[in-house]
C-alpha cells in the first residue's frame, strides 16, 4: 500500500495489547514537543473542532500530572487525566492516560520523536493497555470522544462522495 508522506500508520500488534502510531511532521522535534507539552497549544489540536478542550491541570514535568475535559456548546462530554511519567525535552514523552468514564482503565503512552533531515520529525507513539480485549475495544470504539466524533465527521464526509 502506498501512502502519502504524512499519512498516519497504525499497527495493532496481534500478540500484545498495544497500538503503535507512526506519523511524520514538517517541523523540527522541539516544535512538535512543544505542541504536545504546552497546554494552550495542546488544547488547540487534540479534540475535534466541534469540541472545546479545557485544560484543568497541566504540569508537564517528569513526575507531574495533567487533566482536561471536553465540552460541546458548554455541555460536558468527557474528562481525562494521567501523569507525566517522563518528560525528556524534544525526544521522549511518557504519560499515563485514563478516561474518567472507565476509571479502572489506564494506558501507558510512550512517545518518541526522531529528527529527520530537512527539519522534519518522525513521531512514534506506543500505547500499552491491560488486555487484548481492552485494546480491541479501544480500536473499535475510539478511546476518546474526540476519536469517535472524528469517525462521525469522517463518515459524513465519506457519505458525500
End-to-end CA distance of the chain: 22
Bridge partner list, 98: 81
Q: What burial letters (b/e) apply to 23-54, b meaning 16+ CB within 10 Å?
A: ebbeebbeebbebbbebeebeeebbbeebebe
Q: Which is nearer to other proteins, 19 or 129 (CB)?
A: 19
102 forms part of the interface with other proteins (CB under 8 A) = no
CA atoms within 13 A on the CB side of 108: 10
* Binder of other proteins out of 55, 94, 108, 132 (CB under 8 A): 132
* Binder of other proteins out of 5, 14, 117, 156 (CB under 8 A): 14
Binding mask 40-79 for other proteins (x = CB under 8 A): -x--xxx-xx------------------------------
34 forms part of the interface with other proteins (CB under 8 A) = yes
CB of 68 to other proteins, least distance (A): 14
CA 22, 46, 82, 18: dihedral to nearest 10 degrees? -30
Q: Which is nearer to other proteins, 45 or 61 (CB)?
A: 45
140 forms part of the interface with other proteins (CB under 8 A) = yes
Bridge partner list, 24: 122
Q: Which is nearer to other proteins, 45 or 102 (CB)?
A: 45
Locate 16 and state its grid cell.
Answer: 500484545
DSSP 91: T
Q: Which residues bind other proteins (CB under 8 A)?
A: 6-10, 12, 14-15, 19, 21, 23, 25-27, 31-32, 34-35, 41, 44-46, 48-49, 132-133, 136, 139-140, 142, 146-147, 150-151, 153-154
Amino acid at each position: 500500500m502506498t501512502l502519502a508522506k504524512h499519512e498516519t500508520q497504525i499497527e495493532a500488534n496481534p500478540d500484545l495489547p498495544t497500538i503503535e502510531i507512526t506519523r511524520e511532521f514538517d517541523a523540527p522535534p522541539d516544535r512538535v514537543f512543544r505542541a504536545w507539552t504546552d497546554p494552550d497549544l495542546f488544547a488547540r489540536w487534540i479534540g475535534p473542532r466541534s469540541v472545546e478542550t479545557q485544560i484543568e491541570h497541566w504540569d508537564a514535568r517528569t513526575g507531574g500530572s495533567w487533566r482536561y475535559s471536553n465540552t460541546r456548546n458548554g455541555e460536558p462530554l468527557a474528562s481525562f487525566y494521567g501523569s507525566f511519567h517522563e518528560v525528556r525535552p524534544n525526544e521522549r514523552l511518557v504519560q499515563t492516560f485514563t478516561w474518567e468514564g472507565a476509571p479502572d482503565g489506564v494506558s501507558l503512552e510512550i512517545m518518541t520523536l526522531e529528527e529527520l533531515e530537512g527539519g522534519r520529525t518522525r513521531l512514534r507513539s506506543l500505547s500499552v493497555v491491560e488486555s487484548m480485549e481492552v485494546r480491541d475495544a479501544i480500536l473499535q470504539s475510539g478511546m476518546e470522544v474526540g476519536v469517535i466524533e472524528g469517525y462521525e465527521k469522517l463518515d459524513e464526509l465519506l457519505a458525500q462522495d
